[in-house]
């Protein structure tokens, strides 16, 4: 009868690997690290999506300012697609192609553009598209709490307003100066 050879540690040489307890400890440590990191990553993603929504409304406001002074003949576009369509004399649109549909989905937010309540018809633009004397744009999270907590809105005055409940500030709240502007 032969004895198994022993390694320097005093254990049989063919007994290599990790014990079940060692593996469970490693899995537990990974679980704790994941439990700490995932909420931070979710908050970072929500903050990034909200920042993107604010930047998108700023881009819409800037596009409207350019549009009203050049192509709109003093009137505002009421569709994102109108702002993404260049005049016949140029190839440059007022808004990027990723916002060329109504409503547009960008970074977990639904972005809309519409005529402002109480606005009246304006002159046709360079493409013979009807314009209005005011607009109302919104950015609302697709899944409140996952893609964002806050919703945003803006009007022809150019200020972006925020609502922490996930519903865009209404035109009435903006007009009454009870909506909260972003800082």
- The percentage of the chain sitting over the pLDDT mark of 90, rounded to a whole number, equals 77
10 located within any domain: no
Residue 169, domain extent: 20-181
Cα–Cα distance list, 10 to 5, 15, 73, 132 (Å): 9, 11, 91, 88
Give the tens place of pLDDT for each residue, 61-120. Answer: 999 999 999 999 999 999 999 999 999 999 999 999 999 999 999 999 999 999 999 999
Express each pLDDT in 36-48 by its tens digit. Answer: 888 888 889 999 9
Taking residues 149-166, what's their average pLDDT?
95
Q: What's the structural domain count of the chain?
A: 1
The answer to whether residue 88 is domain-embedded is: yes
- pLDDT exceeds 60 at position 1: no
Q: What is the pLDDT of residue 164?
A: 92
**6 pLDDT exceeds 80?**
no
169 within domain boundaries = yes
pLDDT score at 98: 93
Question: Residue 146's pLDDT band (boundaries 50, 70, 90)?
Answer: confident
pTM of the model: 0.81
Strand partners, 136: 114, 155
Asked if residue 47 is part of any domain, the answer here is yes
Domain annotation covers residue 13 = no
Q: Is residue 15 part of a domain?
A: no
Helices and strands (H, E) in the chain, number of each type: 3, 8
């Amino acid at each position: 009868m032969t004895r198994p050879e022993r390694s320097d540690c005093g254990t049989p040489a063919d007994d290599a690997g990790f014990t079940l307890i060692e593996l469970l400890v490693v899995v537990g440590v990974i679980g704790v690290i994941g439990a700490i990191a995932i909420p931070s990553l979710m908050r970072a993603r929500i903050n990034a999506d909200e920042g993107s929504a604010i930047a998108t409304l700023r881009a819409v406001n800037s596009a409207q300012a350019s549009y009203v002074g050049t192509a709109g003949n003093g009137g505002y576009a009421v569709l994102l697609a109108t702002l993404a369509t260049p005049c016949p004399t140029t190839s440059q649109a007022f808004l990027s192609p990723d916002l060329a549909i109504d409503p547009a989905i960008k970074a977990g937010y639904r972005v809309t553009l519409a005529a402002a309540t109480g606005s009246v018809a304006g002159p046709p633009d360079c493409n013979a598209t009807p314009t209005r004397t005011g607009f109302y744009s919104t950015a609302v999270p697709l899944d409140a709490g996952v893609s964002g907590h806050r919703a945003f809105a803006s009007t022809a005055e150019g200020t972006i307003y925020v609502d922490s409940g996930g519903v865009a500030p209404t035109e009435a709240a903006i007009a009454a100066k009870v909506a909260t502007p972003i800082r």
